[in-house]
Structure 1
Amino acid sequence: MAEGEAMDTTFEAAMAGFLHEFSLSGEFNSPVEGAFGLCDSDTLEKTPSNSTDRAKLKANERRDRYRKRLQNERESLRRQERELSVKLSQLLTAQAKAKEEAKKSNTLALSAWRATAARQKGKRLEAEQEQQRLKAAVLDRAELIRQLSALMMMSAPMKSLASCVNPISSQEMQGALLYKTFMRELDYLYAKTADLVGGVQCDLLPPESFEVRRRWNQDKTLMESADATQISIPFDQTWRSLSSLYLADPKGSHYRGEIHDRENTAAVTYRSNYTLESGTTTLITYSSVRRYVEKDCVVFVWRSQFEGQGKFDGVFSDEHAWLVIRPSDMPEGPGTTLQSYTQLKLTDLDGKMGTNDLRGNQFVKLVGMVDEEDMADVEEAMQGLLIGESQSGSPASSDVMEL
């Protein structure tokens, strides 16, 4: 700006000198101007001064226009700067948003991939466990078949050895082999407790009532029951009393062979006679049970097989059962919730299920009689606890066997 003012000053001085020289040369060379000059000397004296003023005015006007043009350009640049800043800010915001969305998309995709991988891994591990269990079951059944075949082929001279000390019957041998298989399955069944017991809709029974309601599933492959009830007996007293009933049942013949975790496991054989319309029949039950004591609940898991005799010879049913015992609050005070779930699969020697077979339906009724007896035993045990509490006014823990 200072350089422009200096140029204007130089230009004005040069212009003033030029006009002055021009006015002097005109004074000596123009007769008309000379004549006029003789007549009006005052006008001639003022002419150079007026020209200088006009030059200054024009120079000032040029400076003003130049300054105004500079101001306009400066304002235009500032306006462009603001517009470009806004556009840059918008671009940066859009870019950051795009990066964030891409990051979220990648995170979601990664999470979905991890979840899928975890599910696939879980299914693979479950399939491997199931495969190992099935392999073990096949080997055990093969050994059972081999030993039973050997027993059936025994000759008459071998039968004469029946007078030997502690002879082992084929039924006892069959029970021993079954129990070895069943007890290996208990931990696997326990691992499925949350999925099976927690994933079904239970029939809520009235308080202090016990019942097993079996129904065919949708595809008629097995019978299921899911029941729950509450009792006004403290949790700790309830599960200890049921432990006495399930693990030390005096009605059955307890397996005395090798048992893993004997304190919490029992294998019992029951031989029961029932009267039907067609006559009296016998049912043999091979049952293994294990107790799992958790922090907030106690779980009992059963693996059983019912074997028909006489009219029902060759008819079997495999049962998986769970009982979950939890503490609960009741209007009367501390109570207990009992939730059970069972699966019963009916088969014959050919491995076929007879849902519409008369003999199969009668066999299911026979198993139902076993359920009624079991529930009667549970109800009797609970009633005994209630009577003991009412008489003593405090939990009769001394009447419950510690297991």
Structure 2
Amino acid sequence: MEDAAFLAKVAEFLDSFDVPTFPEGDSLLGVEEPSASSGAAIATEFCFERSELQKAKDRKRRNEYRERQKIERESLQCQVGELSAELNEVQRDKENEEKEADDLMLPILAWKTIANRHLEVRLASEARQRQLQAAVEARAALIEDLSGLLCKRLSGDALVENLGLGEASFGQKRIRLEPADTAIFEAYLQGLDTAYAQTDQVLRACGMDAMPYDAVHCKQTWKPDGKTGCFQSVSKLLVPFSFEQTCQSLLQVAIMQHRQIDRELYYGVGDPETTLALKFRVISSQTSGRIVSVVLRVVARRFEERDRVVTIWRSFTEGEGVFTGMHSDETGWCVAKPSPTPLAGGTVFETCIRNVPMYFRGTATLEPAVEQFTDLVLNSGTEDSAEITGMLEKLLLASA
């Protein structure tokens, strides 16, 4: 097909030349025939023309190819522009959606934060309510047991009042552990952990930090609390012995060996290495010569921390004889820790005791007897502190 087109173009090319007119007849005889050199020139010119045509065709094809490439490039550039515009629009839409989502999330997050905070407060309140309910139930059980015990005492099991005939005629019955004692011990043992958790709060409230370390300081005051109140005794003592040595000796004096009158131990304490429960009687002679007595039930527990030893005790005092119907509830905190002055050395004892008097209806009107009962309870506590401190100093001096 291409050869036919080529021959057609060659024919057109040859036709473009003027054909010479030849004379007719004999006139042709006088004309010379073309030479061989002119034929070669024609062939050469023919090949040249053919080459030029081929080059023209190649140029045309290249031009057409470049034109197609240009058109495709322009088309692709247009597509790139369109797609870029579409991408920008999609990105703007996405950014707007994210912004709208963020705007919607802000109040949701705030609501969640508030809801979580309310939930935490609610859970804490419920936990506190459960603790208070448990404490109320324990105290109610204790009150019920005490009521039964006191009713038994008031109905005829109380001590016979002394008539001034001397201690031999004082109608005491030797005390022994009874079912009611077990209930009291169990209730008071449960309260030791609660009192231990309040140690730092109690010491701050009584101004322990403001008391100096260089001497013995002790004060006893009445601390009102609504219609009731308590006697509070606060003391701070510095002993010139190492903390480790003092704590070892403290284990030996904390068992109150000086209280031996009708002493009975309660063995259901769980951990006898750190906990003590006992019952004993305290007898005192008044200025009138009359012998009076009270029965104490005491529980104590030692809590060892990294840099201090905390001793917590609770005691229930029951009046006998003329003191029947009179009671006292005591809670004590004693913290032993190294002296804050390393050069001075020694051990510091910080002690706070709260004693709450309790009287049954009818006994509160017996003002002299109530005052005497209170004096006996407070004095016995002072005697215990002095006795334990003296025994501790003796042990420390002996081991020094």
Amino acid in structure 1 at the alignment position of 2:119: W
- What is the TM-score with the length of structure 1 in the denominator? 0.59
> Per-residue deviation at 1:254?
5.5
Residue 185 of structure 2 aligns with an amino acid whose one-letter code is M
CA distance in 2, matches of 1:98, 1:372: 69
Match of 1:371 among 381, 390, 395: 381
**Aligned pair 1:110/2:122, yes or no?**
no
CA distance in 1, matches of 2:157, 2:320: 20
Match among 193, 198, 201 for residue 199 of structure 1: 201
1:150-206, Cα deviation, whole Å (9 max, x unpaired): 757xxxxxxxxxxxxxxx964514x64564233212332212124433223124344
Aligned mates of 2:109, 2:147 — CA distance in 1: 56
- In 2, distance between residues paired with 1:219 and 1:190? 25
| Aligned match of 2:133 | 127
Offset at residue 142 of structure 1 (A)? 1.9
Contact 1:203 1:226 survives alignment (8 Å): no
1:20-58: CA deviation from partner (whole Å, max 9, x where unpaired): xxxxxxxxxxxxxxxxxxxxxxxxxxxxxxxxxxxxxxx
Counterpart check, 1:189 vs 2:191: yes
- Within 2, Cα distance between the matches of 1:313 and 1:336? 41
The yes-or-no answer on 1:270 pairing with 2:281 is: yes
Letter of the aligned partner of 1:192 in structure 2?
T
Quick one: structure 1 residues 150 and 223, their matched pair in 2 at CA, closer, same or farther if it must change by over 3 Å?
closer
Distance in structure 2 (CA, Å) of the matches to 1:215 and 1:138: 28
Alignment coverage as a number of residue pairs: 297
Match of 2:340, SS state, is strand
Paired residue for 1:316? 327
Q: Are the equivalent residues in 2 in contact too, given 1:233–1:334 (CA < 8 A)?
A: yes
**Residues 264-318 of structure 1: CA distance to partner in whole angstroms, max 9, x if unpaired?**
3141423232545x665534241313223434333232223152654x4543322
- Given that residues 186 and 302 in structure 1 are in contact (C-alpha distance below 8 angstroms), is that contact kept between their aligned partners in structure 2? yes
Alignment correspondent of 1:304: 316
Aligned to 1:247: 255
Q: CA deviation at 1:226?
A: 5.9
The one-letter amino acid of 1:185's match is A
Q: 1:213 Cα deviation (Å)?
A: 1.7
Q: Is residue 302–residue 322 contact of structure 1 (8 Å, CA) maintained in 2?
A: no
Task: State the one-letter code of the partner of 1:298.
Answer: V
CA drift at 1:247: 0.9
TM-score by length of 2: 0.59
**1:290 maps to amino acid:** A
d(CA) in 1 for partners of 2:377, 2:333: 17
CA distance in 1, matches of 2:147, 2:173: 15
2:358 counterpart residue number: 347
Match of 1:56 in 2: none
The equivalent residue for 2:228 is 221
Match of 2:115, SS state, is: helix
**Which digits, 9 at most, give the CA deviation of each residue in 1:214-273, with x for residues without a partner?**
423231413042635252433333333333223141343354465224553141423232
Work out which of the two has the higher radius of gyration on C-alpha atoms and give 1 or 2.
2
Which 5+ residue runs of structure 2 have no aligned equivalent? 1-80, 159-170
Q: CA RMSD in A?
A: 4.0
